[in-house]
């Protein structure tokens, strides 16, 4: 039966206007005033906001790390995302197998039957030789158009600059996009070894051994490599204003470079790591200073940064204690693995479900970004940059009916009890929110109604993405 979402205020990346939306099957069929057809189901959205479903360009679900695995899998992470208004996520495939194709098959085996929202993959390139160079273009047949490279995690994930340059050139030839983790792996390794030799084992040493300047020079180095390869570059998890300034410098000089930040970098600093529960905030790169928080807000508002992802990579704070998840006890080893050595704390924080509600209250509500920028940064720009637009990220006829009906007046005290991540803590515990998703549609199916979950494993679909995407 067709559905009409009636009398809502639509918010897109560029406009705000009152209209109805007609959905037939999986698609939006029309958008306009007073849509009326006899056999439709009516959903009253009067007084509500209607936005395209969120798209998170950066998750790590069911990711092996150190002696454990990230605690959300491709079902639980998708479910958490959906409750927060996100209907598409993009996950990174580790290159831990003989061929890239095999790596992608392993990730499909993990994800396909569990997926509860739509999803796609980026490929990590962490080892480069002639065979891998030949395999990269074949990723296009698998719907993968994006390659993540690392300047840190020496002898595990890192590529040398010349190798990154080679990846960038292949990406240019095939219309692919390279994504960069910008830190200085050499300096980090020296400082971590020295800190541990000095007996410095507590969480604050995670940030102290990853100096900010390493990220600043790494972003500029990445920009220079991209310019020399004449290939676009997307810098993931920009965590400090110095990196945003390098992005601005390069963009002003015609480098095709874009950047993503993540909510924790807008709110928290390295001071969190000094708390008794500081391990909860350990991720790479680390959170920095109040000036960095402010500078990143500015970079979002002025267009220097194009997207807000989450880098969702959750671990339990205390993985020896079970939590209840869908009625069953679950305990997964987590941050306690590094209680005697900060370098053994699994890197990563939860966030896929927090992103939209937190950014709405503390971004839009606080006057730091407009509602249209909110939609652009969390959905439309992501769809454009990653080759999904206008199938995703748009409220137009022909687009997938991925729609969030947002209650701008809903007030709640947020935290682990409310967020749906499969972990035992939340970074935004006791934060007051104003505005929250009320209903979430995935391709025309209602999957969230308030606190009720109507989605299911296997309800999400793999998205093959197109090369030569839009640069912003
Ligand atoms: O700490 C983090 N962010 N873990 C995930 C890996 C990465 O570099 O994104
Ligand atoms: Zn990274
Ligand atoms: Zn990541």
Nearest ligand to the CA atom of 91? 3
Q: Are residues 99 and 46 in the same domain?
A: no
Q: Are residues 25 and 73 in the same domain?
A: no
Regarding the beta carbon of 260 and ligand 1, being less than 6 Å apart is answered no
Distance 276 CA to ligand 2 centre (A): 26
Q: Residue 197 CB: number of other CB atoms within 10 A? A: 8
Q: Are residues 96 and 210 in the same domain?
A: yes
Q: Are residues 63 and 173 in the same domain?
A: yes
CB-based neighbours (< 5 A) of ligand 3, an ion: 311
Strands 452-453 and 445-449: antiparallel
Q: Is 467 a domain residue?
A: no
Domain hosting 30: range is: 3-51+391-453
Regarding the beta carbon of 58 and ligand 1, being less than 6 Å apart is answered no
Q: Residue 39 CB: number of other CB atoms within 10 A? A: 6
Q: Are residues 60 and 23 in the same domain?
A: no
Regarding the beta carbon of 60 and ligand 1, being less than 6 Å apart is answered yes
- Find the CATH number of the domain harbouring 165: 3.20.20.140
Q: How confident is the model at residue 271 (pLDDT cuts 50, 70, 90)?
A: very high
Helix or strand run (H / E) with residue 95: none
Q: Are residues 74 and 26 in the same domain?
A: no
Q: Give the per-residue pLDDT at 268.
A: 98
Q: Is 118 a domain residue?
A: yes
| Domain end residue (candidates: 369, 385, 401) | 385
Distance 6 CA to ligand 3 centre (A): 38
| 8 A C-beta contact, residue 225 and residue 161 | yes
Best mutation site among 62, 283, 352 for ligand 1 pocket (most ligand atoms within 8 Å of CB):
283
Q: How confident is the model at residue 3 (pLDDT cuts 50, 70, 90)?
A: very high
Regarding the beta carbon of 313 and ligand 1, being less than 6 Å apart is answered yes
Regarding the beta carbon of 181 and ligand 1, being less than 6 Å apart is answered yes
> What is the spatial distance between Cα 198 and Cα 209, in angstroms, rounded to a whole number?
13
Q: Give the per-residue pLDDT at 355.
A: 98
Q: Give the per-residue pLDDT at 331.
A: 98
Q: Are residues 119 and 86 in the same domain?
A: yes
What is the per-residue pLDDT across 409-457, written as a single tens digit (0 to 9) for each?
999 999 999 999 999 999 999 999 999 999 999 999 999 999 999 999 9
Q: How confident is the model at residue 199 (pLDDT cuts 50, 70, 90)?
A: very high
Burial of residue 271, with CB atoms counted within 10 A of its CB: 0-12 exposed, 13-18 middle, 19 or more buried: middle
- Find the CATH number of the domain harbouring 402: 2.30.40.10
Q: Give the per-residue pLDDT at 107.
A: 98
> What is the spatial distance between Cα 336 and Cα 425, in angstroms, rounded to a whole number?
13
Q: Give the per-residue pLDDT at 49.
A: 99
Spell out the residues 6+ positions from residue 165 whose beta carbon is closer than 8 angstroms to its own. Answer: 225, 228, 229
Distance 401 CA to ligand 1 centre (A): 31
Best mutation site among 348, 349, 351, 352 for ligand 1 pocket (most ligand atoms within 8 Å of CB):
348
What is the per-residue pLDDT across 296-323, written as a single tens digit (0 to 9) for each?
999 999 999 999 999 999 999 999 999 9
- Mean pLDDT computed over every residue of the chain: 98
Spell out the residues 6+ positions from residue 318 whose beta carbon is closer than 8 angstroms to its own. Answer: 334, 335, 336, 424
Distance 283 CA to ligand 2 centre (A): 9
Q: Are residues 275 and 290 in the same domain?
A: yes
Burial of residue 421, with CB atoms counted within 10 A of its CB: 0-12 exposed, 13-18 middle, 19 or more buried: buried
Q: Are residues 153 and 264 in the same domain?
A: yes
Cα-based angle 75, 426, 192 (whole degrees, multiple of 5): 100
Regarding the beta carbon of 185 and ligand 1, being less than 6 Å apart is answered no
Regarding the beta carbon of 376 and ligand 1, being less than 6 Å apart is answered no
Q: Give the per-residue pLDDT at 162.
A: 98
Atom number, ligand 1, closest to the C-alpha of residue 60: 5
Q: State whether residue 102 is helix, strand or coil.
A: helix
Q: How confident is the model at residue 104 (pLDDT cuts 50, 70, 90)?
A: very high
Q: Are residues 124 and 137 in the same domain?
A: yes
Distance 311 CA to ligand 2 centre (A): 8
Q: Is 16 a domain residue?
A: yes
Q: How confident is the model at residue 399 (pLDDT cuts 50, 70, 90)?
A: very high
Q: How confident is the model at residue 93 (pLDDT cuts 50, 70, 90)?
A: very high
Regarding the beta carbon of 312 and ligand 1, being less than 6 Å apart is answered no
Q: How confident is the model at residue 363 (pLDDT cuts 50, 70, 90)?
A: very high
Q: Is 462 a domain residue?
A: no
Q: How confident is the model at residue 354 (pLDDT cuts 50, 70, 90)?
A: very high
Strands 432-442 and 403-413: antiparallel
| 8 A C-beta contact, residue 32 and residue 394 | no
> What is the spatial distance between Cα 354 and Cα 421, in angstroms, rounded to a whole number?
9
Q: Give the per-residue pLDDT at 47.
A: 98
Q: Give the per-residue pLDDT at 252.
A: 98
What is the per-residue pLDDT across 135-194, written as a single tens digit (0 to 9) for each?
999 999 999 999 999 999 999 999 999 999 999 999 999 999 999 999 999 999 999 999
Regarding the beta carbon of 239 and ligand 1, being less than 6 Å apart is answered no
- What is the domain count for the chain? 2
Q: Is 12 a domain residue?
A: yes
Exposure string of 214-234, with b = 16+ CB inside 10 Å and e = fewer, is bbbbbbbbbbebbbebebbbb
Q: Is 469 a domain residue?
A: no
Regarding the beta carbon of 439 and ligand 1, being less than 6 Å apart is answered no
Q: Is 217 a domain residue?
A: yes
Regarding the beta carbon of 126 and ligand 1, being less than 6 Å apart is answered no
pTM: 0.98
Q: Are residues 22 and 144 in the same domain?
A: no
Regarding the beta carbon of 347 and ligand 1, being less than 6 Å apart is answered yes
What is the per-residue pLDDT across 414-426, written as a single tens digit (0 to 9) for each?
999 999 999 999 9
What is the per-residue pLDDT across 219-246, written as a single tens digit (0 to 9) for each?
999 999 999 999 999 999 999 999 999 9
Cα-based angle 190, 196, 201 (whole degrees, multiple of 5): 130
Range 345-355 average pLDDT? 98
Q: Give the per-residue pLDDT at 123.
A: 98
Q: Are residues 297 and 206 in the same domain?
A: yes
CB-based neighbours (< 5 A) of ligand 2, an ion: 181
Q: Is 8 a domain residue?
A: yes
């Amino acid at each position: 039966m067709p559905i009409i979402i009636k009398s809502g205020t639509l918010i897109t990346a560029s406009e705000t206007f009152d209209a109805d939306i007609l959905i037939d099957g999986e698609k939006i069929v029309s958008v306009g005033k007073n849509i009326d057809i006899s056999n439709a189901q009516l959903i009253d959205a009067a007084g509500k906001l209607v936005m395209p479903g969120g798209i998170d360009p950066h998750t790590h679900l069911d990711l092996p790390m150190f002696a454990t695995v990230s605690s959300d899998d491709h079902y639980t992470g998708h479910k958490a995302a959906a409750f927060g208004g996100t209907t598409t996520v993009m996950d990174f495939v580790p290159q831990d197998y003989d061929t890239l194709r095999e790596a992608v098959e392993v990730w499909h085996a993990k994800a396909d039957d569990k997926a509860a929202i739509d999803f796609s993959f980026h490929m990590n390139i962490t080892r480069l030789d002639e065979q891998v160079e030949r395999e990269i273009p074949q990723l296009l047949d698998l719907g993968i158009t994006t390659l993540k490279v690392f300047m840190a995690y020496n002898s595990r994930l890192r590529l040398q600059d010349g190798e990154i340059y080679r990846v960038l050139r292949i990406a240019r030839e095939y219309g692919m996009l390279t994504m960069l983790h910008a830190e200085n792996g050499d300096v980090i390794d020296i400082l971590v070894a020295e800190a541990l030799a000095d007996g410095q084992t507590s969480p604050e040493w995670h940030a102290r051994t990853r100096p900010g300047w390493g990220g600043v020079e790494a972003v500029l180095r990445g920009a220079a490599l991209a310019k020399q390869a004449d290939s676009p570059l997307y810098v993931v998890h920009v965590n400090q204003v110095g990196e945003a300034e390098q992005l601005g410098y390069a963009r002003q000089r015609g480098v095709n470079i874009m950047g993503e930040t993540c909510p924790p970098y807008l709110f928290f600093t390295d001071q969190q790591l000094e708390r008794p529960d500081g391990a909860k905030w350990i991720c790479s790169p680390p959170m920095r200073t109040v000036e960095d928080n402010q500078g990143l807000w500015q970079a979002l508002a002025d267009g220097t940064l194009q997207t807000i992802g989450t880098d969702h990579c959750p671990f339990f704070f205390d993985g020896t204690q079970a939590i209840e998840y869908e009625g069953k006890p679950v305990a997964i080893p987590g941050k306690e693995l590094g209680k005697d050595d900060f370098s053994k704390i699994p890197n990563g924080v939860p966030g896929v479900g927090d992103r939209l509600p937190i950014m709405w209250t503390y971004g839009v509500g606080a006057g730091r970004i407009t509602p249209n920028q909110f939609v652009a940064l969390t959905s439309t720009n992501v769809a454009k940059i990653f080759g999904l637009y206008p199938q995703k990220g748009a409220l137009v006829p022909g687009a997938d009916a991925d729609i969030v009906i947002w209650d701008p007046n809903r007030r709640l005290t947020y935290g682990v009890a409310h967020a749906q991540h499969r972990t035992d803590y939340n970074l935004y515990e006791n934060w007051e929110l104003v505005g929250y998703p009320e209903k979430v549609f995935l391709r025309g199916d209602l999957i969230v109604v308030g606190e009720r979950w109507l989605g299911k494993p296997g309800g999400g679909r793999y998205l093959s993405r197109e090369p030569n995407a839009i640069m912003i």
